[in-house]
Amino acid sequence: MEAMRNCLRKGIRENKVAAEVACVLSREEAEALLFPFIMVSCLRTAYPYGGITDRKISRGEFVTIDMGACYK
């Protein structure tokens, strides 16, 4: 969660945030993702299963992230 918070910034794309988080999970020895990431921003936060797009995140927008990983 800390890595995700640190990479969120104006202009970053949803798919870039998800890729950064996946990289951190792998580096920290997560065995597998429990389900596909959900990473939505702005109006798409109204859709709980919105998936991930290449949409750029703007300053002040709401972001919804759902993720899970298997560890040990």
Q: How many domains does the chain have?
A: 1
The pLDDT score that the predictor gives to residue 28 is 87
Convert the pLDDT of each residue in 11-29 to its tens digit. Answer: 999 999 989 988 888 888 8
Stated pTM of the model: 0.80
Contact, 42 vs 15, CB < 8 A?
no
Angle at CA of residue 64, ends 8 and 66, nearest 5°: 100
Task: Please enumerate in sequence order all residues whose Cβ is within 8 A of that of 14, keeping only pairs 6 or more positions apart, or say none.
Answer: 39, 40, 41, 52, 53, 54, 55, 57
Residue 28 belongs to domain spanning: 2-70
